[in-house]
Each structure stands twice: as structure tokens, then as C-alpha cells.
Structure 1
Amino acid sequence: MTVSSGEGPTTGTDGLLGPEIKVALSTASVYPESTAAGFEMAVRLGFDAVEVMVGVDETSQDLDQVAHLAEYHRIPVCAVHAPCLLLTQRVWGLDPWGKLETSTEMARRVGADVVVVHPPFRWQRDYARGFVEGVAMMEERTGVRIAVENMYPWRTRRRETEVYAPDWDVTGSAYATTRHTTLDVSHASTAQQDSLELARALGDRLRHIHLTDGSGSAKDEHLVPGRGTQPVAAMLEHVAGSGFDGHVVLEINTRRSGGRRQRETDLIEGLAFARLHLSPRPAPA
């Protein structure tokens, strides 16, 4: 099949329209199991690659150990998720730019071409003030795409709080010069956005997709795709036919799965959903 350059759908020699998009597994999807377990399950269940979520698991923080896992299991690492969560505030120090720098170092070490990063928290004022420009400069210097992820306002029954700066919405004017973005379906759901419309709005700035689902709750649910209310199937079919040549990464919450067997069942279901809706379509006669 002909691989798309991102300029639009292509027709391969097999008469199918669109690039063949591979599906990766985020190591976050196996939590509370380890990063090592994520690599093992990704290979055994048939994923094409791995996204490493840098978190509290010390293995995920160690560049050499991550490289060893990729080599040992013979599976590529397509992306590194920088430590942006509240519970990872002390991972790789307190300097957010230092965390992002180390994330790009890990990406280069393991051959990943994308680093995923969240917008700054509002209280990270200096970081937020130069975030968009700083990301562009780091991309230019490192050669690694830094894909800023869509977030959401924090909501309760009585109020909505803006906690990200310059904005939680990566389609907003604050990110007009941002070249690469990540679309997380669960975050879109929590923000009460439509993931299909979001994908369309991002256009060729869409580099990375966190495949999941949500019910519109104020809680960031990360459901198995197809179990929520987002138009996930239509969104995947849209990107499959639009020349998208980035990564699709299953990032679901399996903490309440009840054990390894159900966790793997959920992962298999998510992978099957992705492959079904990303399948190249027949070209028009």
C-alpha cells in the first residue's frame, strides 16, 4: 500500500483508499501493572507499537530500561508521553522544561518521533507564558514532534474551573502556531466536545490520537472505544480517509477490570475496534 504524505487520501496498488494506519498500546492502559507488562501485552495481543507513559513506575523513567524493553520484545516505541500529571510532578525534577527535554531525549533514544505533552497548569506561570514558542523551538532543535494534547475544564455540579494555560482547547487561537497536536477522545468527552468535529478542526495539525471513549461525565473516564457516547467510529473513519499519517494509540482505563484476563479482553476489544474503523476503504470506481 502507498503510504500517505499527509496531503490527502492516497490510492495504493490494491485499489484501497487511504494509508494503512498502525495501532499502538499506551503503557497507561495496563496500569496498575508495570511498564514492562505493557510491552509484553502489546506484543502478545498484536499491537504494532507502544507509547510509553512516563509515570511513577521507575522503569518508565529510565531511558536505558525503556530501550531494553523495546529491543527485547522487538516492538517499536512510537511515542513518549511526558510526565504532566499531578502525581508525576516530581518525576525528572520540578522544572517542566527539563521534563520535556528528557522526554525528547527518551524519544530519540528509542526511535520515537512524537512526544505528547499537556498544556501547562495555570500556576506554572513562566512555563505557560512561553509554552507555545518554547515547544516550537524545542521541536526545531531536537527534530522530535511535540504534540500538544487537548484537555478540558475541571467541572463540578456547581462550577467550572480553568486550570490550563494558555488554554485547554488546542483549537483555540492560543495554539494557532502549534504544528502538532494530540486528540484524546476521553478529554474531548469531558470537555463536552465532539471528537469528530475536533479532528476536522485540527486538520493537518492532528499528529497523534489517544483512542478511548467517554460518556460526557465531568470525570476523565478513558472508556473502551465504543462503550461511550463519542462518535469514535466516525472519527477514525474520517482520519483514515483524510491522509492522516500519525499514530493511533489505545489509551484506556483498565484499573477496575478485575484482573489480567478482563484487562486483556478490554485491550483486545479496543484493538479490534481500531482496526475495523481504520481499515482502508475501497477507492471510488
Structure 2
Amino acid sequence: MMIKRILAPLAVVAATGLAGQALAAGEGGHVTDVDFSFEGPFGTYDSMQLQRGFQVFHQVCASCHGLKYLAFRSLGDSTGPAFPDDQVKAIAALYEVADTGPEALPGDTRPGLPSDKFPANTAAGAPDLSLMAKARAGFHGPYGLGINQFLKGTGGAEYIYSLLTGYTGEEHEAAGSILYGNEVFPGGKISMAQPLWGDDVEYTVHGGGDHEGEEGYHGADYTPPEATIEQEAKDVAAFLMWVAEPKLTERKEAGLRNLIWLVILSVLLYFTNKKVWASVKGDH
């Protein structure tokens, strides 16, 4: 009886996991696997992709969504978008933030500074996107095996990509509201109209710098890829993954260092143990 009591909850969890996997693989919620550069234990962010993703967010998504947990100065992180300081200041100045100065009146605003965070956007009642890539973990996440999450991440970026490219073009009226057909969103209908169309942004061209080996790098110039729906969705999904996990690269590097030290310590302890007990084992 005791064994049954212990195994019963495990059976329920296993069944739930299998059902979740079946749902994720079904027609109503299929998530496309995308090969992102930051996946895997040694993956890192592609700074040029993050810059393109920010451009998509700024020109398309920011009209309804905010990034209230992200500071403007983080856009200059070397393991992130790596915008130059002057561009970070220029980007911050494009946004109006609450003025909390000693002479400010309630409701006063001022141009943003690098030390400020992105202002919240509640005008359309749309969710904030700061943690969306973590909140929408799927495909590799919570129904997958732990090893999949370790090797490929939680899958939140794949979910965002699939959602943005999953519109069917159908419209449904319900309770006076228009819902839009989407193959990924639960129920197959979503209140958000299709945001990306492939001609929403014109990717800008940046200098080469330290981007040798990255996608689109050609000698002294960086030529961004064509702004298709799929490309825009992939870029903004990668950007939102960085927004949710800005220190992902640093955590991976720290984990690798700790693993190396653990191996060295284990070897030292092994030989120390042999040395300490050599005389005792020799008597037998």
C-alpha cells in the first residue's frame, strides 16, 4: 500500500506530462523548433539579431506592449544587443518616462535616460513583454525532459516565433469582439491582430566591428537579412528571450567555470584520499 501511495502521484505527473506533449504536438498548439544561437550549454546571443529584434519591437510591438523591467542601459551590454553608448542615449530619449524630480508635478514626463527603465504601456491593455519568453515556456519546456531544457532552453522563444507566424487569416466575432485565427494560441483564436506582415521594418545597416562570424557579417559591413515575417518573428523572439534572460551568457560561463573547478577538486580529493589511506590499505 505504501508503494502504491508513493507511485500514484508519480503516475499522475507522468500522465500529465505525456498529455502536455501530445497537446503541444497537436494541430491546435504546434510549436516550431527554431535554431537560435543562444540555445545549448555554450550558446550565446547574436548581438546583431538582438538589434534587429529591438527594431521590430520598437517599430511594431511598442505601440501596445511595454518592457517595464528592462533598463535602457542594458541595451549596451556586450553580451546583449551591444548598442554603442550614443545610440543607447538616443533610444532612451525616444521614450517619455515619469518625471520624479523635486519640482515635478503628478503626471509630468521627461525624455528617458539610460538609467531609466522602459515605461509601462497600459493603453491597449496588452501584457508587458519583459518576461514573456519565460512565461510562455513550451516545446522544450515544462513538458519536456530536463536534458532537453539543459541543451535547448525552455522554448519560450520558439513559442513566440510560432505564435507570430501562426496566423491563419481567419476572423471570428464573439461577444462583439473580433478574434483572429491562430494555430498556436490555445483555442485557435486570439484577440491580437496579426502584428507582422514582412514589410513592417526596414532593417538598418551597421558597421562590422566585432561581429565577424555572425549572421550577415561581410567584411567591413553588416548586411541584415530580408525583413520577412519569419525573419522578423525570429529576431523579435530572440530579443524577448534576451529581455527575459539578459544574463544568460554570464550564467553559462559561470556554470562552466564551476564545473571545471569541480572536476579539478574531485581529482585532487581522489589522489589525496589515496595518499592518506595508502599505509592503512597496505597493511591488509
Common fold by TM > 0.5: no
Q: In terms of Rg, which structure is larger?
A: 2
TM-score range, shorter chain: under 0.3
TM-score (norm: length of structure 1):
0.23
Q: Structure 1 or 2: larger strand share?
A: 1
Q: Structure 1 or 2: larger helix share?
A: 2
